[in-house]
Amino acid sequence: MTKRHLEPLLWLLFSGGGVMAAVFLPILVVLFGLAIPLGWVQPDYNHLHAVVSHWLTRLVLLGLFVVMLFHAAHRFRFTLYDGLQLRGFATPIAVLCYGAALVGSLAALVIVLTV
């Protein structure tokens, strides 16, 4: 029986997170970081709350946050490996990077479920 590796799943999360980050993160930053605070857009709070309160929107936001966190963890891991040449600390770096992504994902799950 061949040994199964976790690496393909991590690369899938990395590529999916990269696509999601490239497509949706600039929109979210411009909308919630610039347009609303600067008064360019005046959203109706009740409508925005109704949209964000819907279960499908929460599920999409959770998926978006999870894949973006794993993308960031994978990118940071290989930046430490290749950029800083810390290959001797491969296991602790991987555990810390993906552990942080997992903790962030769990925090996003708790926030999405409770808010």
Token representation of residue 60? 């999409």
> How far is residue 68 CA from its own chain's centroid?
2
Domain ranges, ordered by start, for the chain: 7-17+44-114
Which of 11, 23, 6 shows the shortest CA–CA distance to 74?
Answer: 11
Q: Is 39 left (phi over 0), alpha (psi -120 to 50) or beta?
A: left
pLDDT per residue, tens digit, the chain (115 aa), is: 677 777 787 778 778 888 888 998 899 899 989 999 999 999 888 988 898 889 999 999 899 889 889 888 888 988 888 888 887 888 898 899 999 999 999 999 999 888 7
Count CB neighbours of 65 within 10 A. Answer: 19
Q: Is the pTM here over 0.85, yes or no? A: no
